[in-house]
Structure 1
Amino acid sequence: MEKDSSMSSLTRFWFIVTMLVGTFTMSISQSSLSTAYPTLMNYFGVSADTIQWLTTGFMIVMCITMPISPWLLNNMSFKKLFIGALLLFDVGTLIIFYGSSFLIVMLGRVMEAAAVGVLFPSYQTVLLEITPEKKRGTIMGVAGLVMGSALACGPIISGIFLKFTTWRGLFVFFMVVITIILGLSFFVMRDVMPRIETKLDWLSIFYSLGLVGLLYVITEIGKSGTDWLILGIILLISIIMLALFVHRQLTIPDPLLDLWVMKSFNYDLAVLLTGFSYISLIVVTIIFPLYYQGVLHVSPFISGMALVPGAAFLSILNPLTGTLADKIGFKPTMLIGMTMIVLGWGLLSILTISDIWIMIGIAMLIEGGNAFVMMPAVTLGANSLPNPLISHGTAVITTVRQVLGSTGVAVATLVLVDFTKHASLSGKSLVMANQFGFHAVYWTFFGIAVIGFIIALLIKNTQNDSE
């Protein structure tokens, strides 16, 4: 079916604004509950390990729905897809609001995650499709507000609502904004994607569930009392399923997710680089509040507010770095960002910091660096592919980034717990043991940032193959 390309400049503006605001609001929900854990634990009478599934489960469901997004874009009107995702999220949020038990709230979170998982790669594909290549850096810089800033803003917005309302107030906010965007969508959204209808491959979807097992193992590795035999069995089955998924995508005529995009080495480097920058961003939003509360002894509200400058700096830089990438090239832009990230983790590794303002400054340095890397890497990766493969390429990038982000959080948690425990058992005071654990985390991610810098050196500026 032909796509609807008849959009005036005003319609195009509201189309993009509606899409970005809707996706931004939905994305906030991914990281918004971390500051609400104690409140939710007390309310539902569950343990910390259980309540964390409101975030862990969210990330897992996102990952298993992301590979389906290219098929949906090819077989559905984008307007219907967007409205359907908003409606699914809105209903899920309503279920959470009225939820009287943890299981009901978890059901609502699964519905929210499915909506975000479908929409996250789709909105990037649509933006790339409707934007000339020479302007893609700029528009994808604006899109970076959704990907980076939403993640950083989640704990901040949650902290504000928890201070002035109950935990349900946060979900009222989500419902109000999404309902407004849903109403606007009926008037401003258009079917902008060409459609090539194919049959949905249910066997591929079944094999993709190996991602569930993989992410489950990743999240359970750092917990005490881990049953390594069970985890090993789950990991083996998951790897076999994912191997079958990859083989099927490479051999069937109409794959659910076309993995031949990986044959472009430049695209592969872009996938890794966007994942590495995302790791730094998500670890900062998780680890820094723990440092503020555990070492600097500030309140949860102050620790949440301390994330504001970094999130604001990231939000300001995202559109600017996109324009910069269009002017000086993607590689120089990404090298600037990786230099900032390496410098930030390096300073944390060699310094013992007792001033929250210095920590805020370093958080701004790392998060600002992310603005120079993540969306330029996504755009460069898309430019390395022919147009028909862009939807598959963005789905692969988004899925890999999510898996790497989950792995980064698991590694950070494992290193922090183990090194703090080791230092405490060796006779160090609680304060010194905490410092030792955090420095181990900083050195770990300094090493990861250096690898990311090397990847940025290897990347080449590439024009779109379709030209």
Structure 2
Amino acid sequence: MMPVSPWLLNNLSFKKMYLTVLAIFELGTLMIILAPNFPIALLGRGLEAVAVGILFPSYQSVLMTITAREGRAEVMGLAGLVMGSALACGPIISGIILNYISWQGLFWFFLLVIALIFVSAIFNMCDVMERKESQLDFISVIYSLSFIGLLYFVNELGTKQLTLPLYLILIVSVILFIAFILRQFRVKDPLLQLRVLKVANFDIGVLLTGFAYISLIVVTIVYPLYYQRILHVNPLVSGLALVPPAALLSILNLVSGRLADKVGFKITLLIGMVMLVVGWAILFIFSYHLNVLGMILIACIIEGGNAFVMMPATTMGANSLPENMIPHGTAITTTVRQLLGSLGVALAMIIIVAGGHTLSEIIGYHYAFGFFCILEIVGLILAIILRDDSKK
């Protein structure tokens, strides 16, 4: 749904769209709670995914559209603060609920929170987006299904052997993806305005956002595996160990936004990329001699670096575009970020499994840490060559 979000923002009342998205999420959550079997629960999760796919890029577009250019970094930092708080509080709240109630209780909690937001939005939200109506290109919507196929292939890449059906999914998805790209340059009203990719700063912003997200998602997935398989701690401890870095990420998001508004995006991004490189380098060098506390401290460095990269890079990319292109730019950034995040996790699993075939399982983690250190060095180079025209 992410590629469709610019069209929805331009053609529908934002308030009605927002309420509809919340209603879809509520319906999906209720289906999961009451599901008599797995297919119904899966359908419910699908509805939740549709809602998130529309809302995630849309809220960023709205925030940047209604905020003056010079204040966007701080506003997006505040948004990052909220998202980081969810990462920090999620494991704690989930653990408490699951410890005392069944798994359905977790979804009842979601249902209640979304219901409160829905009621609040009815009375407090107003339409803030200027509407520019255009005809929906259904062919492009069909072609955009290629993103689902690509994500599925990438997600399966690190967990299963490549089979003929997976190869067929990849081939069909690549063909549809190419057709989607070509069509966006041919039609009068493209579903996704890919011409924004001609702006160099936007491209660098997209890549830096993706590299930062890779570090965030890989730490979230790989760290618990390292805790449990190498350090032999229980799942509860491995989950709680993710809370301090997530809390730091939440706090530093607001700091990074204010810093970007004061000194410019380039310095802010350089600080973040250096922290990411240093964090992964320490993991690579000392991967054979780490304990839980050391892992937590290194995760704080990596997620702290993420705070100085992901939201500032997103904002910088949007600032490089004309106002009417911001929804398209945000949708592209969000889509690429999801693809790169999934690819990062898949590559991590492949490297860990390949290394695990040797005498020691820890060798796989050692190689994985080295790979992501090299990846973030590439990101650091991009931050160095970035042209910063935001500094006052």
2:187 corresponding residue in structure 1: 252
**Alignment partners' CA distance in 1, 2:95 and 2:383:** 35
1:223 partner amino acid: T
**Alignment partners' CA distance in 1, 2:265 and 2:146:** 34
Matched, 1:136 2:72: yes
1:280 corresponding residue in structure 2: 215
1:391-429 Cα distance to aligned partner (Å, 9 max, x none): 100000001001101111111111111211x21xxxx2x
Q: Is the 8 A contact 1:222 1:411 kept in 2?
A: yes
1:226-278 Cα distance to aligned partner (Å, 9 max, x none): 31x33333222211111110111111111111111101011001000000000
1:447 corresponding residue in structure 2: 374
2:131 corresponding residue in structure 1: 195
Tell me the CA shift for residue 155 of structure 1. 4.2
SS at match of 1:243: helix
TM-score (norm 1): 0.81
Q: Is the 8 A contact 1:66 1:117 kept in 2?
A: yes
- Segments of 5+ residues of structure 1 without an aligned counterpart are 1-64
- Segments of 5+ residues of structure 2 without an aligned counterpart are none
Match among 339, 345, 367 for residue 403 of structure 1: 339
Matched, 1:235 2:143: no
Match among 207, 211, 220 for residue 156 of structure 2: 220
TM-score (norm 2): 0.96
1:323 corresponding residue in structure 2: 258
1:289 corresponding residue in structure 2: 224
SS at match of 2:128: coil
1:461 corresponding residue in structure 2: 388
Match among 264, 269, 278 for residue 343 of structure 1: 278
Task: Give the number of the structure with larger relative contact order, counting CA–CA contacts within 8 Å between residues 6 or more apart.
Answer: 2
**Alignment partners' CA distance in 1, 2:92 and 2:156:** 26
**Alignment partners' CA distance in 1, 2:258 and 2:290:** 37
1:313 corresponding residue in structure 2: 248
**Alignment partners' CA distance in 2, 1:259 and 1:178:** 33
SS at match of 1:251: coil
Aligned-residue identity in percent = 54
For residues 440 and 162 of structure 1, do their structure 2 counterparts lie closer, same or farther at Cα, with a shift above 3 Å needed?
farther
2:8 corresponding residue in structure 1: 72
Q: Is the 8 A contact 1:126 1:193 kept in 2?
A: yes
**Alignment partners' CA distance in 1, 2:289 and 2:95:** 24
Matched, 1:419 2:355: yes
Q: Is the 8 A contact 2:143 2:180 kept in 1?
A: yes
Tell me the CA shift for residue 148 of structure 1. 4.7
Q: Which stretches of structure 1, 4 residues or longer, exceed 6 Å deviation after superposition?
A: none
1:107-126 aligned at under 5 Å gives the runs: 107-126=43-62
**Alignment partners' CA distance in 1, 2:240 and 2:7:** 40
Question: What is the aligned residue count?
Answer: 390
- My pick for the range that moved more, 120-129 or 140-149, is 140-149
1:178 corresponding residue in structure 2: 114
Q: Is the 8 A contact 2:83 2:250 kept in 1?
A: no
**Alignment partners' CA distance in 1, 2:229 and 2:92:** 18
Q: CA RMSD in A?
A: 1.5
Tell me the CA shift for residue 149 of structure 1. 4.7
Tell me the CA shift for residue 165 of structure 1. 2.2
Match among 35, 45, 65 for residue 99 of structure 1: 35
1:385 partner amino acid: L
**Alignment partners' CA distance in 1, 2:218 and 2:125:** 35
Tell me the CA shift for residue 156 of structure 1. 4.5
1:261 corresponding residue in structure 2: 196
**Alignment partners' CA distance in 2, 1:254 and 1:191:** 23
**Alignment partners' CA distance in 1, 2:88 and 2:149:** 27
1:441-461 Cα distance to aligned partner (Å, 9 max, x none): 111111111111111112122
2:182 partner amino acid: H
1:27-106 aligned at under 5 Å gives the runs: 65-106=1-42
Q: Is the 8 A contact 1:380 1:462 kept in 2?
A: no
Tell me the CA shift for residue 151 of structure 1. 4.7
**Alignment partners' CA distance in 2, 1:362 and 1:124:** 29
Tell me the CA shift for residue 147 of structure 1. 4.6
2:342 partner amino acid: S
For residues 302 and 158 of structure 1, do their structure 2 counterparts lie closer, same or farther at Cα, with a shift above 3 Å needed?
same
**Alignment partners' CA distance in 2, 1:337 and 1:96:** 39
**Alignment partners' CA distance in 1, 2:390 and 2:290:** 47
SS at match of 1:363: helix
For residues 440 and 155 of structure 1, do their structure 2 counterparts lie closer, same or farther at Cα, with a shift above 3 Å needed?
farther
